Amino acid sequence: MTEYSRTNEFLRLLMANQKRIYAFILGMVPNHEDADDLFQETVLVMWSKFDTFSRGTSFTAWGMTVARFQILSARKRHSQRRLLFSENALELLQKDSGHFVERIDERVRALRNCVRKLSEK
């Protein structure tokens, strides 16, 4: 695979799944700023480890796993800050969030449809 096609494949998969991965991160950290930083770190790690991604498997699940390790790493770096979730809690949240994250696009479409029906007031 050429570098160009590798880059295109990664970008195509990332663009199709970024909302799900970001939603997972946002559910694990206390604020949007932390989620934004962690998402950027996660994407960089995903790109550097893209050769380890098994094509044909769930890119979202792989990205969520990478994100989980980034979240744990950030927790260790910021151990002086109050921790919201234990590592066991993060594992449970990751297991339970898969179904929700996979359906996020459907939920966003439904929400946009509802908002369109609202009056200007």
pLDDT band at 91 (very low <50, low <70, confident <90, very high): confident
Helices (H), the chain: 3-28, 32-48, 59-77, 87-102, 104-117
Percent of the chain scoring above 70 in pLDDT: 88
Would you say the pTM of this structure is higher than 0.85?
no
First-last CA distance in the chain? 54
Whether the pLDDT of residue 86 is over 80: the answer is: no
24 touches 94 (CB < 8 A): yes
- Computed over every residue of the chain, the mean pLDDT equals 86
Residue whose tokens read 């998402």: 39
Q: What local confidence, expressed as pLDDT, does residue 112 receive? A: 79
